[in-house]
Amino acid sequence: MILTVTLNPTVDKAYEVEKLVLGEVARVQEKRQTAAGKGIQVAKVVKLLGEDVSATGFIGGHNGEFVKEFLEKAGILTKFIQVEEETRTCVNVKDLSTGRITELLEQGGAVPNEKQEEFLDSYKKLLIDCEVVVISGSMPRGIEKEYYYELIQLAKDMGKVVLFDSSGELLAAGIKAKPHVIKPNRAELMELIGRKISTKEEVIAAASEIQANGIENVIVSLGGDGAIFVTAEGVFQGTTPNIPIVNTVGCGDSLVAGFAVGIRRGLPMIDKIKLAMAVSTANALHKETGFFLQEDLDRLLPMVGAIKL
């Protein structure tokens, strides 16, 4: 079982408009609505890969019920803590005339202390039946950044493998608990180490510094340039084929999901990397996020690379 933690889930609404001009009316050509948040995206992909997965976090109101029902229809086990405030909505608007995407991200309602304690009690019980834990994304208001440290440490104390994917001060606070895997992108890595990174060699050097401080695997996603994997077994570059991309939203979460499944299955490092890269690329072939077709994954697996540097 893989457990995903999404403290700040969202209902994602994606709109496509012919042209987006500030201050003017834009008529929607197409719209999509889905349950999201980084950990929920991971859960959806893990389930599509055929693994048992459970999703937890905080939900509230009609949006929270939508998230829960969406996941349960997908065959994902849910154990959310109910809060009074409505689960947030995030809006993604694509301007078809330019291809540019504008995102409006709500912060998330406040979670009182008693609900945070309730979540910790539930989380400890959920940890019993899982082998791998994925903790991802932002936090709603009212929760201190050290909360992620506590969640990571609790899982490690119970012998679970922990993958952690966040950013900014949340990432900086969480990695003090030394999760087994983190996945910053280039910008997040620069913020974490406090200096500019331009070349692949600089990416490797920065990731290696973090790994030397007790993070077993540091994965740095580089968009179209693939990803760098600094691991206990060496440094690898994950590469992807040059194919037309439809949507890059959710690709990082899909990469995390693929790597988590590789850990759950006990795959060799090369195969973990290939699965992660192939799933990430398969996600990019569709407008829907946290989604891929098995036929795409089967086609892409022989095309992705995992090169030891």
Question: Is residue 225 annotated as a catalytic residue, yes or no?
Answer: no
SS (H, E, C) the chain: CEEEEECCCEEEEEEEECCCCCCCCCCEEEEEEEEECHHHHHHHHHHHCCCCEEEEEEECHHHHHHHHHHHHHCCCEEEEEECCCCCEEEEEEEECCCCCEEEEECCCCCCCHHHHHHHHHHHHHHHHCCCEEEEECCCCCCCCCHHHHHHHHHHHHCCCEEEEECCHHHHHHHHHHCCCEECCEHHHHHHHHCCCCCCHHHHHHHHHHHHHCCCCEEEEECHHHCEEEEECCEEEEEECCCCCCCCCCCHHHHHHHHHHHHHHHCCCHHHHHHHHHHHHHHHCCCCCCCCCCHHHHHHHCCCCEEEEC
Please write the tens of the pLDDT for every residue from 111-155: 999 999 999 999 999 999 999 999 999 999 999 999 999 999 999
Model pTM?
A: 0.94
On whether residue 118 sits in a domain, the answer given is: yes
The whole-number average pLDDT for the span 269-279 is: 97
On whether residue 254 sits in a domain, the answer given is: yes
Give Cβ neighbours of residue 235 (< 8 Å, ≥ 6 apart).
204, 208, 228, 229, 308, 309
On whether residue 119 sits in a domain, the answer given is: yes
On whether residue 304 sits in a domain, the answer given is: yes
On whether residue 121 sits in a domain, the answer given is: yes
Residue corresponding to tokens 């999901």: 257
User: Structural domain of residue 236, as residue ranges?
Assistant: 39-57+108-308
Please write the tens of the pLDDT for every residue from 218-269: 999 998 889 999 999 999 999 999 888 888 888 999 999 999 999 999 999 9
Give Cβ neighbours of residue 254 (< 8 Å, ≥ 6 apart).
41, 42, 45, 279, 280, 282, 283, 290, 292
CATH of the domain at 186: 3.40.1190.20
On whether residue 49 sits in a domain, the answer given is: yes
On whether residue 72 sits in a domain, the answer given is: no
Instruction: Work out how many domains the chain is built from and give that number.
Output: 1
Please write the tens of the pLDDT for every residue from 33-66: 999 999 999 999 999 999 999 999 999 999 999 9
On whether residue 114 sits in a domain, the answer given is: yes
Catalytic residue among 12, 121, 129, 253: 253
